[in-house]
Amino acid sequence: MSALEKLNVGIVVEQREIDNPWQDYSWSPVGVLPGVASEDDGQGEWKLLRRGDGWTHFLVGTMDIELFRGETEGYRYNLTNDPPRVYVVLCHGEEADDPEVVPFLVTVCPYEAESYSENGEDIVEGVTMPDEIIGWVQAFIDKHHVDAPFKKRKQKKAYDPRKGNFSRHPRIGSDGN
């Protein structure tokens, strides 16, 4: 299934100092910036955006948010949240020259994001969805969403031993003849 629409966003990550003997910093996505153009493949040099007491925000790359016709129910649900979220999935760098975290996915479907949180290794967090993205997602929903009618399944009739023997095997203790 290919995406019907895409929107490029910059991914902003916070590095926060922590008091932990095994780790110097915690990492978390804190925002997305619509329309940030990348000069390379989106995973180049990090750009320092701002710094405070014990924290630093970096622009760590750009990625596309992709919208698919079959996921409009998830998008609709997301827009009912206060505020709606853009979900960012960060993986830990695996190679020695990799940064500590690497953007892996950015999505507006909470169900897709939840599937990445199940392994316990990736960082999956929602950041506030900018108004520009809210309008874009809503326009996509308006154009492509189709309500699926509710279909009640019919209950299968249960075996009732009072109505006869439906067994294929002879009863224990019968002669079988």
How does pLDDT run across 45-74, given as a tens digit for each residue? Answer: 889 999 999 999 999 999 999 999 989 999
User: Is 149 part of a structural domain of the chain?
Assistant: no
Q: Dig out the tokens for 89 from the structure.
A: 């999935």
Residue 40 has pLDDT above 80, yes or no: no
User: Is 134 part of a structural domain of the chain?
Assistant: yes
User: Is 96 part of a structural domain of the chain?
Assistant: yes
Q: What percent of the chain has pLDDT over 70?
A: 79
Q: What is the pLDDT of residues 106-135, one digit of tens each?
A: 999 999 999 988 887 889 999 999 999 999
What pLDDT score does 38 carry? 58
User: Is 105 part of a structural domain of the chain?
Assistant: yes
> How many residues are there in the chain?
177
Residue 104 has pLDDT above 70, yes or no: yes
Using CA atoms in the order 41, 47, 53, 55, what is the torsion angle rounded to 10 degrees? 10
Could you give the number of structural domains in the chain?
1
User: Is 160 part of a structural domain of the chain?
Assistant: no
User: Is 175 part of a structural domain of the chain?
Assistant: no
User: Is 61 part of a structural domain of the chain?
Assistant: yes
Domain that holds residue 83: 5-144
